[in-house]
A and B are shown apart, each in its own frame.
Chain A
Amino acid sequence: MMPGPTLHAAWEGLLLVLSWPNIVYPIAGTLLAMVVAFLPGISGVTLMALAVPFTLTWEPLPVMLTFGGMVGGATFMGSITAILFNVPGTGPSAATLIDGHPMAEEGRARTAIGCAAMASAMGSSVGIFVLIALVPLMTVAILAFGPPELLLLLLWGLTTIAVITRGAVTRAAIATGIGLLLALVGHDARTAEERFTFGALYLWDGIGLVPAMLGLFSIAETLSLSVSGRETISGRHHVEQLAGSVWEGVRAVFTHFGLFLRSALVGTVIGIIPGVGGTVASFLAYGQAVQTSRDREKFGHGDIRGVIAPEAAHDAKDGGALVPVLAFGIPGSEGTAVLMAALVLHGLAPGRELMTERLPLVFVLIWSLFLSNWMTSIVGLLLVKPLARLTTLRVQTLVPVILSLAVMGAYTHAQRIGDVVLAFVFGVAGYYMKKHGWPRIPLVVALLLGAGVERNLHITARLFELGRLDLAARPILFVLALLIAVNLALPWRQASKRAGAEGTS
């Protein structure tokens, strides 16, 4: 049951958000973030980081309102480019493209966007309500996850993605290994030794996820489209010829409500755990959607469930991600790190004081995020028709536009021309990987999680050496180890099933 002061603060926060002129701030923040997030590689984080200096003179209330709007506004738009052009606007959108883009290729872009918008808005609501319910219980939830649990969680994520990726599992495992090795480029965290940099100053900071992702998906996709011989992405020339409707997509979320709820809860829990982030949330939700389905062979070929799961998890994660930031000042992602920096700069230090004496302000942030998520989805739904029209444009017209956006995204993320070159290198590599059936998603996810795996592996090993790892007191470890074992056993089980089926036929 929610204590009285929390409920009172929640109500007070809601009134503050809805009052005039306060309501203008989250709306402006949301719209600005939506526009910026439509450009691949330029995430809401970039916008938030740029906005921090401009808001230094503001009062804490408008800051909370604006940043809440920005966090929510940036989340959904990346999924639209993923669905339409196979270009993930953000890391987490990469999971949406697995089924979202095949839907667009079948001429069902409207259904996919409608479904993504509804799953996204409702997913964020689940995340936010869980966050509100958890406000009094935040401490316990976070302390249950130490480095060993995080390590196993990350390994579970990697094995899930390797197993669920279409194509041979061996190739997915190799791609995961290569992604992990690429993540090790730069410096060793413990000895500060240079590792695999070939003496290049540019590689000291490691291989950036944004240029790698834009290269592997966007640039590779432009090459692939160029040689595909297709006239348009959807194969249709007029928007009237497109199949499916927005409402079909919206209804699908309710038809698969169980899947939606499970995915939203996966996203919320992953969001709560610091350092894991939205990409893992999306892929894990996608993984559980595949694993819990009887007709899993439909995934990857334009199954609407493959859109519901990552979208619900991705947006639900935002609510969960605020838990460690507000309670302990532990940012779980780049976005929450920037948010925390903005809070601290305005004298709002996360922790006990913020969660007790300034609780209404915390709820201002939460409601602002809630409003922003719904607003983004509604605007997204309104824009479905013109956006779906893009899939009827000639491929050769879209190719240079997508490439230009990818180049802009690769550069503006860190303002290094080396990132553009890197994106091109990954683009060519991604094209040949796609052409010859090498999965790219495990590589990207491993690149993202590699640093976390190494860090937590070292800490866990050290704890073990010092005899400070009491396995009996960590039941979560056993659950996670069991899940990893299931993942590893799955390919053999499927192979033996196939062999059995072939033997009987």
Chain B
Amino acid sequence: MTDWIERLIVTALLLALVVVVVAMSAGLSPVARWMPLVVALPTLGLLCLEVVADAARAGGMSRVAVVNTRGLSRIVEGANRGRRDSSDDGRRKDERQALIWLALAIAAVLTLGMLGGLPLYLLLYLRLRARQRWTVALGLAGGLLLVMYAGLDRLLRIPLY
């Protein structure tokens, strides 16, 4: 997936969110839907403009002007579609990894709780992704556990999940 498709998807998702709000507002009483519609309708209009602008930009990006010493030679349609350099691939790989680690963090908290999940995530990340020494990883994870247990649970009496 190229950047411009991703950009278009982000705009489209925001558009979908506002469309859902407008659709759901129809089921509300006139008093309750007044404010949502006052905000949603202009936002929807602006978003439609943005989708068109994004699509136009995406179209424009796929045209490449070939220039030689005599001036403009020709316009190549779709020249950069599907072309990705190695740095782009590396960035996407990093992005995928970051999202996977984020998913692991939430999964660890939801399954093992705050006290178990969060220090475990910290320990694994520091060892496997950051390639930190065991002493650093264990020290930071232990410190986090201590802050949560002694500081939050015991001292401030915040019941941890």
Q: Which of A84-120 contact B (CB under 8 A)?
A: none
- The residue on B at minimum CB distance from A423 is B106
Q: Contacts A174-B47, A223-B99: A195 and B28 contacting too (C-beta < 8 A)?
A: yes
Q: Contacts A226-B97, A227-B98, A397-B136: A191 and B109 contacting too (C-beta < 8 A)?
A: no
A residues less than 8 Å from B40 (CB atoms):
177, 181
Please tell me if B35 contacts chain A, counting CB pairs below 8 Å: yes
Q: In the assembled complex, how far is the CB of residue A398 from the closest CB belonging to chain B, in whole angstroms? A: 9
- A415 in contact with B101 (CB, 8 Å): no
- A404 in contact with B161 (CB, 8 Å): no
CA A446 – CA B57 in complex, angstroms? Answer: 28
Please tell me if A10 contacts chain B, counting CB pairs below 8 Å: no
Please tell me if A180 contacts chain B, counting CB pairs below 8 Å: yes
CA A171 – CA B11 in complex, angstroms? Answer: 10
Which of A173, A190, A226, A397 is in CB contact (< 8 Å) with B126? A397
A residues less than 8 Å from B84 (CB atoms):
none
- B98 in contact with A424 (CB, 8 Å): no
- B121 in contact with A400 (CB, 8 Å): yes
CA A418 – CA B37 in complex, angstroms? Answer: 28
Q: Contacts A181-B43, A400-B122, A432-B10: A226 and B140 contacting too (C-beta < 8 A)?
A: no
Please tell me if B70 contacts chain A, counting CB pairs below 8 Å: no
- A170 in contact with B29 (CB, 8 Å): no
Please tell me if A471 contacts chain B, counting CB pairs below 8 Å: no
CA A454 – CA B91 in complex, angstroms? Answer: 42
A residues less than 8 Å from B50 (CB atoms):
170-171, 174
Please tell me if A134 contacts chain B, counting CB pairs below 8 Å: no
- A226 in contact with B144 (CB, 8 Å): no
Interface of A is mostly: helix
Q: Which of B72-128 contact A (CB under 8 A)?
A: 90-91, 94-95, 97-99, 101-102, 105-106, 109-110, 114, 118-119, 121-122, 125-126
CA A408 – CA B110 in complex, angstroms? Answer: 13
Q: Contacts A171-B50, A226-B97, A411-B161: A188 and B31 contacting too (C-beta < 8 A)?
A: yes
- A193 in contact with B28 (CB, 8 Å): yes
- A436 in contact with B17 (CB, 8 Å): no
Q: Contacts A226-B94, A400-B125: A174 and B46 contacting too (C-beta < 8 A)?
A: yes
B residues less than 8 Å from A190 (CB atoms):
31-32
Please tell me if A457 contacts chain B, counting CB pairs below 8 Å: yes
- B46 in contact with A170 (CB, 8 Å): yes
CA A417 – CA B132 in complex, angstroms? Answer: 30
Q: In the assembled complex, how far is the CB of residue A53 from the closest CB belonging to chain B, in whole angstroms? A: 10
- A195 in contact with B10 (CB, 8 Å): no
Q: Among the interface residues A174, A188, A195, A222, which one has the most CB atoms of the partner chain B within 10 A? A: A174
Q: Contacts A170-B49, A219-B102, A397-B126: A417 and B161 contacting too (C-beta < 8 A)?
A: yes
- B94 in contact with A193 (CB, 8 Å): no
Tally of contact residues, B, Cβ under 8 A: 59
- B121 in contact with A420 (CB, 8 Å): no
- A180 in contact with B39 (CB, 8 Å): yes
B residues less than 8 Å from A174 (CB atoms):
14, 43, 46-47, 50
A residues less than 8 Å from B157 (CB atoms):
50
Please tell me if B130 contacts chain A, counting CB pairs below 8 Å: yes
Please tell me if A324 contacts chain B, counting CB pairs below 8 Å: no
Tally of contact residues, A, Cβ under 8 A: 52
- B14 in contact with A408 (CB, 8 Å): no
CA A173 – CA B121 in complex, angstroms? Answer: 38
- A407 in contact with B105 (CB, 8 Å): yes
B residues less than 8 Å from A178 (CB atoms):
14, 17-18, 43
B residues less than 8 Å from A427 (CB atoms):
102
Q: Mark A399-432, 1 if CB is under 8 A from B, else 0.
A: 1110110011001100101001100100110001
Q: Mark B22-35, 1 if CB is under 8 A from A, else 0.
A: 00100011011001
Q: Among the interface residues A178, A396, A404, which one has the most CB atoms of the partner chain B within 10 A? A: A404
- B43 in contact with A400 (CB, 8 Å): no
Q: Contacts A226-B94, A400-B126: A177 and B105 contacting too (C-beta < 8 A)?
A: no
Q: In the assembled complex, how far is the CB of residue A137 from the closest CB belonging to chain B, in whole angstroms? A: 36
Please tell me if B42 contacts chain A, counting CB pairs below 8 Å: yes
- B109 in contact with A420 (CB, 8 Å): yes
Please tell me if A433 contacts chain B, counting CB pairs below 8 Å: yes
- A436 in contact with B10 (CB, 8 Å): yes
- A415 in contact with B106 (CB, 8 Å): no
A residues less than 8 Å from B18 (CB atoms):
177-178, 181
Which of B102, B114, B119, B136 is in CB contact (< 8 Å) with A223? B102
A residues less than 8 Å from B159 (CB atoms):
415
Which of A173, A219, A438 is in CB contact (< 8 Å) with B10? A438
Q: Contacts A191-B31, A397-B132, A428-B102: A412 and B152 contacting too (C-beta < 8 A)?
A: yes
Q: In the assembled complex, how far is the CB of residue A54 from the closest CB belonging to chain B, in whole angstroms? A: 10
Please tell me if B21 contacts chain A, counting CB pairs below 8 Å: yes
- B125 in contact with A399 (CB, 8 Å): yes
Q: Which of B116-161 contact A (CB under 8 A)?
A: 118-119, 121-122, 125-126, 129-132, 136, 140, 144, 147-148, 152, 156-161
Q: Which of A378-406 contact B (CB under 8 A)?
A: 394, 396-397, 399-401, 403-404
CA A69 – CA B54 in complex, angstroms? Answer: 51
- A407 in contact with B118 (CB, 8 Å): yes
Please tell me if A184 contacts chain B, counting CB pairs below 8 Å: yes
- A196 in contact with B43 (CB, 8 Å): no
- A193 in contact with B32 (CB, 8 Å): yes
A residues less than 8 Å from B46 (CB atoms):
170, 173-174, 177
CA A458 – CA B49 in complex, angstroms? Answer: 30
Q: Contacts A226-B98, A396-B129, A415-B158: A181 and B21 contacting too (C-beta < 8 A)?
A: yes
- B122 in contact with A404 (CB, 8 Å): yes
CA A427 – CA B101 in complex, angstroms? Answer: 13
- B24 in contact with A196 (CB, 8 Å): yes
Give 8 CB contacts A-B under 8 Å: A174-B43, A177-B46, A181-B17, A191-B29, A195-B28, A227-B94, A396-B131, A436-B11
Q: A195-B28, A196-B21, A424-B106 are in contact. List 18 more A-B contacts (CB 8 A).
A: A171-B50, A178-B14, A178-B17, A180-B39, A190-B32, A195-B36, A196-B24, A226-B95, A229-B90, A229-B91, A397-B126, A397-B130, A397-B136, A403-B105, A420-B161, A433-B10, A435-B6, A457-B35
